[in-house]
Amino acid sequence: MSWTDERVELLKRMWSEGQSASQIAKELGGVTRNAVIGKVHRLGLSNRAGAATAEAPAAAAPETVAAAAPAPDPVDDDPADTAAGDAEVAVETALPARAQIVPAGRPLPPQPSHNEISPEALARVTEVEKVARKLSLMELTEKTCKWPVGDPATPNFWFCGLPVQPGKPYCEAHVGVAFQPMSARRDRRR
């Protein structure tokens, strides 16, 4: 199945009408729900005007939202998409609540840490990561630690790769960070 201009236009129309990805996939035929979601994301159609009106506060400043609009996708140079792209920008300017969405392929901004991990556990993780095997996704096995290190959107991304604890997906140091006793988590919430 290829995304012809007619199929893309039908997808855009149905998406703007509020149809679900499953309904669109069924109508298009030969395509899965996930393929529709992926194409919607690549086209930048992930914001719907109908769903945004309930979320958008009335006194939102349109300048701040317009500055946060994603750059056009360099892969899609189709002139037929430019008119639709202008309509998408108009929809995005009405969506100040969605201004924090980061397009795929770009690194995420630093995220606030919601977990307060003990300094001892962090020190162990830091030491373990110095001697980690630094495996790629394709090199992982059931016996290697699958703890991700770094930003997946950068070339410096890798997995720990040290031997795992029995029944766990991580090595001893990463298990200490990932699986904390219930009482420790409960205490942090207070």
**CA-CA distance, 13 to 45, in Å (whole number)?**
11
Q: Is residue 111 part of a domain?
A: no
Residues 78, 163, single domain; the answer is: no
Residues 33, 79, single domain; the answer is: yes
- Is the pLDDT at 80 greater than 60, yes or no? no
Residues 88, 130, single domain; the answer is: no
What's the pLDDT band for 108 if we cut at 50, 70, 90? low
Q: Is residue 103 part of a domain?
A: no
Q: Is residue 36 part of a domain?
A: yes
3-state helix, strand, coil in the chain (%, to 5): 50, 5, 50
Residues 93, 9, single domain; the answer is: yes
Residues 88, 13, single domain; the answer is: yes
- Is the pLDDT at 72 greater than 90, yes or no? no
Each residue of 123-153: pLDDT tens digit? 888 888 889 999 999 999 999 999 999 888 8
**How many CB atoms neighbour CB 186 within 10 A?**
9
Q: Would you state the pLDDT for residue 60? A: 45
DSSP-derived 3-state class of residue 149:
strand
Q: Is residue 40 part of a domain?
A: yes
Q: Is residue 87 part of a domain?
A: yes
Residues 14, 72, single domain; the answer is: yes
Q: Domain span at residue 28?
A: 5-98
Domain count, the chain: 2
Residues 85, 27, single domain; the answer is: yes
Three-state SS for 55-80 is HCCCCCCHHHHHHCCCCCCCCCCCCH
Residues 85, 123, single domain; the answer is: no
Residues 81, 153, single domain; the answer is: no
Residues 93, 139, single domain; the answer is: no
Residues 89, 16, single domain; the answer is: yes
